Each structure stands twice: as structure tokens, then as C-alpha cells.
């Protein structure tokens, strides 16, 4: 499932591709026939909150996005949803964003057959739930969990169900406080709380496992046992990691000095592809994570075998030595006082995390 950083990238892609333009909308699959109501409206922008994408549309471009006349297309990609872009050269940075393309070859053939410059005549696949077409290209949505039209109240109702999003601006620390309070009032394990979108919006299974490792935290510690300071550090770490992810399209959580330790180990291919729009030149997948999908392999820091178990319906991965309860107070900032995380310093304007 795309994690929050991917949805923020999508919102940015929509802004660039269609922002302020009058668009054509249709549902080739027929399962979103309401798309006809939006045809020829102006796409005012795009908004990402957690894993939810909102596309506000209005009759004219000068309408305030909060006005009652605005219709918000609400999309949640879920496990299988994805967007595919096609258009003029330079139209979209990404070819596809969302679930990994299982039939990439077939799809690319289809695009080639139509001709990249001839995107207007690109026949949609029968599974396309929503097609949005602008002046320079189009975007096709397939397989989403949610695709619906909401008014302003409906949008607000979705937002009220969601916890704080680390990628939303938080000038006064209100979002961070919401996160800390939600964790500290719960007896549930931190490993389960991090997957609860009411506690924090946008985290998926990769960020959960990696954030817990970076905090040296046992996934089974109850939320109420964690200190405010520890949770504040975790939040700041999450902001830095997800900002990096939103900028590059990749989740990378390892410090450079921890990437090369096990060059002799060839990791098995376990289907951990990310979201399809990442730059292949960045840190290779097998060096990007501390624990995610590394069960049975040695921990990059201590050599102990990384373990996995089910927690909150998804597999959690952790190092039983680095993340033991006894050690949970030995947070990474204390272990690395002079070495702020490379990623954090890259994304937080030199502020040592
Ligand atoms: Zn370890």
C-alpha cells in the first residue's frame, strides 16, 4: 500500500499536471458514473492528508476551495489502487504512482502502440475507474479502495477521522502534541498504534518498522509507558523520514555508515518494491532499511537475527537485541550525539534531529 509520502507526491503531480485547468472526467469502467457530474469543471488543486487524496473541482477557476459549490473527489488507493499518467513529453514526472505494476510490460506496450505524443487517442483499459484529462495529458485511476464525490462537509468528516499527518505544516507543534497525547493515553502497543490512522495518518508498514528500530523501541511496549520526550523525538524523526520520502519517492531510513556492512549478504528478492516512481539512482532497496523485510538476516548494528511477527494485521519486523525493553531508553540521539541522522539534517535545514 502506498504510504503517506506517495500520496503527497501524487497531490503535487496533480497540481502540476492539471491545477487551474478545465478537465474532462469519465469512468470507462462505469463504476464511478458520478464522474459525468464533474466533466468540464476546473481542477482547483490537490490535497493529501495521510493516505487520502482530495481533488477539488469547481465550475470556474476563481472559486474558493472552501466554497459550498466545490466538489471534492476523495480517493484512497488502498492495497491495489494506482494512477497512470500519459501525455505530452514532460507532462508528468511519474509514469505511475500507486500499487506496483504487475503487468508493466503489457501496459507499456499499450502506451507505445498509441504513441506517447498521441495520448488523446489512448484507449483506457476497461478497469479504469476514473480518467481525468487536461490540455497536455491524462491520468487513469485503477483499483482504488475509495473513489467518491464529497461536498465540504463530507471532506471535513473524513479529515475528522484522521490523526495528525507528519507531512502537513505544523508551525506551532499542534500536530505533534496530538500524536503524543493519542499514544500516551492508550494501553495498546506502540506497534499497533502506529498503524492506526487516527493516531498518526500516513504511516504504513515500512515506516512503522523502521521508525521503531530507529527509536530502539520494542513494538510491544504499551503507548502509555512512553515518555513525552521519546514520542516527540519519534515524531520529529518521522517528519524527516517522510519529507525525504515525499521529495525522492523513496523510503530510505539507513544511515550511510550502516549500509555497507553486509555486502557479502545477497538478500533474497521478497517483493518489496516501493511505488514505481522512485529514481533508480538513489540508495538501493537492499540498503534502505534496517529491519523491514529483513527477517532471518543479521541486524545491521548488532548482528542479531531480525525477527518478524503479526501485529495489527500486518507483519512487524524488529531486532530483539537493539529493540529490547531493557534498552528502549537508549534512544538513538544519545547513542549518536555527534552524528545527527543524515536524512534528518538533509530535510530539516541543518537542524540536528
Ligand atoms: Zn540489532
DSSP string over 248-282: HS------GGGTSTTTT--PPP-S----S---TTS
Q: What is the pLDDT of residue 284?
A: 84
CA of 279 to the centre of ligand 1 (A): 29
Terminal alpha carbon distance of the chain: 28
Q: 255 lies in a domain?
A: yes
**Cell numbers 495528525: residue:** 164
* CA count, 13 A, side-chain hemisphere, 81: 21
180 and 152, same domain (yes or no): no
8 and 80, same domain (yes or no): yes
- d(C-alpha 253, C-alpha 288), whole Å: 6
CA of 306 to the centre of ligand 1 (A): 7
Q: 223 lies in a domain?
A: yes
132 and 202, same domain (yes or no): no
Q: What is the pLDDT of residue 188?
A: 97
| Of the candidates 77, 90, 69, 14, the residue with the CA atom closest to the CA atom of residue 47 | 14
Q: What is the pLDDT of residue 216?
A: 95
CA of 250 to the centre of ligand 1 (A): 23
Grid cell of 208 as nine digits: 512503522
CA of 300 to the centre of ligand 1 (A): 7
Grid cell of 3 as nine digits: 504510504
182 and 156, same domain (yes or no): no
Dihedral (Cα; 318, 321, 323, 325), 10-degree rounding = 130
Q: Which of 137, 160, 183 is the last residue of a domain?
A: 160
Q: What H or E segment, with its residue span, contains residue 286?
A: helix 285-288
CA of 204 to the centre of ligand 1 (A): 22
Domain that holds residue 14: 4-160
149 and 190, same domain (yes or no): no
**Cell numbers 521529495: residue:** 247
- Strand positions, DSSP E, 197-331: 307-311, 314-318
342 and 233, same domain (yes or no): yes
232 and 293, same domain (yes or no): yes
Residue pair 231/211 in contact by the 8 Å Cβ criterion: no
Q: 352 lies in a domain?
A: no
CA of 2 to the centre of ligand 1 (A): 27
- Residues in the chain predicted with pLDDT less than 50, given as ranges, are 101-115, 263-271, 273, 329-353
132 and 273, same domain (yes or no): no
Q: 289 lies in a domain?
A: yes
Number of domains the chain is built from: 2
Maximum Cα interatomic distance, the chain, rounded to a whole number of Å: 62
DSSP one-letter code for 11: H
**Rounded to an integer, what is the distance from CA 259 to the centroid of its chain?**
23
Q: What is the pLDDT of residue 91?
A: 85
Q: 34 lies in a domain?
A: yes
Residue pair 129/145 in contact by the 8 Å Cβ criterion: no
Q: What is the pLDDT of residue 95?
A: 76
CA of 81 to the centre of ligand 1 (A): 35
196 and 103, same domain (yes or no): no
Q: What is the pLDDT of residue 1?
A: 74
Q: What is the pLDDT of residue 310?
A: 93
Q: Which of 131, 160, 189 is the last residue of a domain?
A: 160
Q: 64 lies in a domain?
A: yes
The catalytic residue positions are 2-3, 51, 314
Amino acid at each position: 500500500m502506498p504510504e503517506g509520502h506517495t500520496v503527497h507526491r501524487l497531490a503535487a503531480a496533480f497540481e502540476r499536471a492539471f491545477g487551474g485547468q478545465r478537465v474532462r472526467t469519465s469512468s470507462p469502467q462505469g463504476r464511478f458514473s458520478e464522474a459525468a457530474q464533474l466533466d468540464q469543471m476546473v481542477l482547483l488543486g490537490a490535497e493529501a492528508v495521510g493516505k487520502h487524496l482530495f481533488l477539488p473541482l469547481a465550475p470556474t477557476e476563481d472559486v474558493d476551495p472552501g466554497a459550498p459549490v466545490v466538489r471534492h473527489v476523495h480517493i484512497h488507493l488502498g492495497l491495489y489502487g494506482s494512477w497512470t499518467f500519459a501525455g505530452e513529453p514532460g507532462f508528468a514526472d511519474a509514469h505511475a504512482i500507486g500499487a506496483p505494476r504487475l503487468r508493466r510490460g503489457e501496459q507499456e506496450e499499450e502506451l507505445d502502440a498509441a504513441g506517447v505524443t498521441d495520448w488523446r487517442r489512448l484507449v483506457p483499459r476497461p478497469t479504469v475507474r476514473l480518467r481525468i484529462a487536461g490540455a497536455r495529458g491524462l491520468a487513469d485511476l485503477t483499483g482504488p479502495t475509495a473513489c467518491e464525490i464529497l461536498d465540504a462537509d463530507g471532506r471535513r468528516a473524513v479529515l475528522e477521522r484522521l490523526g495528525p499527518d507528519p507531512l502537513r505544516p505544523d508551525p506551532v507543534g499542534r500536530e505533534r502534541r496530538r500524536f503524543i497525547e493519542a499514544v500516551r493515553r492508550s494501553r495498546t502497543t506502540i506497534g499497533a498504534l502506529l498503524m492506526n490512522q487516527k493516531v498518526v495518518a500516513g504511516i504504513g508498514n515500512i515506516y512503522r518498522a523502521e521508525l521503531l528500530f530507529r527509536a530502539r523501541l520494542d513494538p510491544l511496549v504499551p503507548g502509555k509507558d512512553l515518555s513525552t520526550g521519546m514520542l516527540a523525538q519519534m515524531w520529529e524523526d518521522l517528519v524527516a523520514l517522510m519529507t525525504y520520502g515525499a521529495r525522492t519517492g523513496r523510503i530510505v531510513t539507513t544511515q550511510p555508515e550502516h549500509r555497507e556492512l553486509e555486502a557479502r549478504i545477497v538478500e533474497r528478492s521478497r517483493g518489496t518494491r516501493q511505488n514505481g516512481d522512485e529514481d533508480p539512482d538513489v540508495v538501493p532497496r537492499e540498503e534502505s532499511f534496517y529491519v523491514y523485510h529483513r527477517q532471518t538476516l543479521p541486524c545491521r548494528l548488532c548482528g542479531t537475527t531480525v525477527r518478524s511477527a503479526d501485529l495489527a494485521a500486518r507483519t512487524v519486523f524488529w531486532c530483539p537485541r537493539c529493540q529490547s525493553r531493557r534498552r528502549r531508553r537508549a534512544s538513538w540521539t544519545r547513542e549518536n550525539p555527534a552524528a545527527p541522522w543524515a536524512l534528518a539534517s538533509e530535510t530539516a535545514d541543518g537542524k540536528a534531529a
